[in-house]
C-alpha cells in the first residue's frame, strides 16, 4: 500500500488542502480524500469530546453555549493541522435538540474549512432503522451529513448494508468497530480464536474495499484501538489486507505512543489515522495552546 504519511507531507503549522478536498464531491471516494489529507497534514484525527469536566476546565458552562464555544474553538485551532476531526455525538446528544444543532453547526463549519469529519455515532441496527441512520449521517443535504460515520457491526456486518451502499454512492465513508481496546470488548470480539468475530469483521471490510482496489485507500475503514497490543497477532488478523483507513483511538491520554502504534500495526501502519482527544483538548482553552499540543502530537507520530 502506498504510504500516505511520507511523501510530500507539509510541515505542521502549514495549511494543507482545504475546500479543494471536497470540490470533487462524490466523484472521489472518502478513502482517497482522507489519504490526501493525511499526506498533506499528517496522520492525526482530533477528537472533539466536550465532556463536562473538560468544559469546566476551560471555564465554560455545561450548556449548549459552552458546547458551541468549545467545538468552534477546537475547530479553529486544529483546522490547519489535522487530517480530520471526530466529534463524539453522545456528548452533543445529551444536550437535546439544541446540542444536536451545535453539532450541525460544527459539521458545517468543518466543511467550510475543508476539514474531513468523522461522526463518532457508533450506529448499528437492522432494516429500515439502519437505513434511517444512514440517511441522517451520509445523505447529501442532510443537516447531520459528515464525511464518515462510525458503525457497530454486532447485529451482523451485513446489517450495515444501507450505510455501506449510501456512503459509497455519495463519496463518503464508514469506520466499522473491529477490535477495540476496552476490556469488555474481548468478550465479544475475540470469540472464535483463529476465526474470531473481529477477524470476520476485518475480512468483510476488505471485501467491501475491493471496489476501490485501484486507489490508495478504500472508503470502508475500521476502528482498531491503539492499545490493543498483541491481540492482532494472537487472533491472526491481517490489517494490511483491508485496504482501508484504520481509525486508532488511544493516542496520548490513553497511553499509546507513536512508537507503540508502529509496533502494534506493523505493515498496516501507513493506513493508520491516530486519534487524540483529551491529550490535545486539555491544553485549551487558548487556540495557540491547542495548536501547539496538536503540532507536538504530530511530531511524535
17 pLDDT above the threshold of 50:
no
Q: Is 233 noted as a catalytic residue in this protein?
A: no
* pLDDT computed for residue 65 by the predictor: 98
6 pLDDT above the threshold of 60:
no
What are the DSSP E strand ranges found in 82-172? 84-87, 116-123, 148-151
CATH code of the region 124-272:
3.20.20.70
**Domain 41-119+277-301 = CATH 3.40.50.1110:** no
Question: What is the distance in angstroms between the CA of the first residue and the CA of the last residue of the chain?
Answer: 19
Q: Quick check: do 41-119+277-301 and 124-272 share a fold? A: yes
- Exposure b/e, 187-209, CB count within 10 A at least 16 = b: eebbeeeeebbbbbbbebbbebb
Three cell numbers at 137? 449521517
Per domain, the residue ranges of the chain are 41-119+277-301, 124-272
* 301 or 172: which leads in pLDDT: 172
Cα–Cα distance for residue pair 30/151, rounded to 1 Å: 16
Task: Report pLDDT digits (tens) over 109-155.
Answer: 999 999 999 999 999 999 999 999 999 999 999 999 999 999 999 99
Residue 17 contacts residue 37 (beta carbons within 8 Å)? yes
Q: Is the pTM of this model over 0.85?
A: yes
Task: Report pLDDT digits (tens) over 146-201.
Answer: 999 999 999 999 999 999 999 999 999 999 999 998 889 999 999 999 999 999 99
Task: Return the half-sphere exposure (C-beta side, CA atoms, 13 A cut-off) of residue 125.
Answer: 10
* 253 or 125: which leads in pLDDT: 125
Amino acid at each position: 500500500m502506498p504510504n500516505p504519511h511520507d511523501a510530500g507531507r507539509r510541515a505542521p503549522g502549514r495549511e494543507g488542502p482545504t475546500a479543494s478536498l471536497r470540490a470533487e464531491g462524490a466523484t472521489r471516494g472518502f478513502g482517497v480524500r482522507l489519504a490526501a489529507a493525511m499526506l498533506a497534514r499528517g496522520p492525526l484525527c482530533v477528537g472533539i469530546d466536550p465532556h463536562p469536566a473538560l468544559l469546566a476546565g476551560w471555564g465554560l458552562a455545561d450548556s449548549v453555549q459552552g458546547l458551541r464555544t468549545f467545538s468552534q474553538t477546537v475547530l479553529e485551532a486544529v483546522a490547519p493541522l489535522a487530517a480530520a476531526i471526530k466529534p463524539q455525538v453522545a456528548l452533543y446528544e445529551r444536550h437535546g435538540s439544541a446540542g444536536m444543532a451545535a453539532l450541525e453547526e460544527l459539521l458545517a463549519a468543518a466543511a467550510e474549512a475543508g476539514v474531513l469529519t468523522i461522526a463518532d455515532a457508533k450506529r448499528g441496527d437492522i432494516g429500515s432503522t439502519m437505513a434511517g441512520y444512514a440517511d441522517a449521517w451520509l445523505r447529501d443535504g442532510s443537516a447531520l451529513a459528515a464525511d464518515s460515520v462510525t458503525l457497530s457491526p454486532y447485529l451482523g456486518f451485513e446489517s450495515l448494508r444501507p450505510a455501506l451502499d449510501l456512503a459509497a454512492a455519495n463519496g463518503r465513508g464508514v469506520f466499522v468497530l473491529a477490535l477495540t481496546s476496552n476490556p469488555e470488548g474481548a468478550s465479544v470480539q475475540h470469540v472464535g480464536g483463529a476465526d474470531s468475530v473481529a477477524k470476520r469483521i476485518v475480512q468483510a471490510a476488505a471485501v467491501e474495499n475491493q471496489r476501490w482496489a485501484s486507489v490508495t485507500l478504500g472508503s470502508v475503514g475500521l476502528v482498531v484501538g491503539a492499545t490493543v497490543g498483541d491481540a492482532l497477532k494472537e487472533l491472526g488478523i491481517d490489517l494490511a489486507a483491508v485496504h482501508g483507513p484504520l481509525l486508532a483511538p488511544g493516542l496520548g491520554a490513553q497511553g499509546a505512543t507513536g512508537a507503540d502504534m508502529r509496533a502494534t500495526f506493523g505493515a498496516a501502519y501507513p493506513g493508520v489515522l491516530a486519534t487524540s482527544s483529551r491529550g490535545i483538548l486539555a491544553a485549551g482553552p487558548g487556540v495557540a495552546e491547542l495548536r501547539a499540543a496538536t503540532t507536538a502530537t504530530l511530531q511524535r507520530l
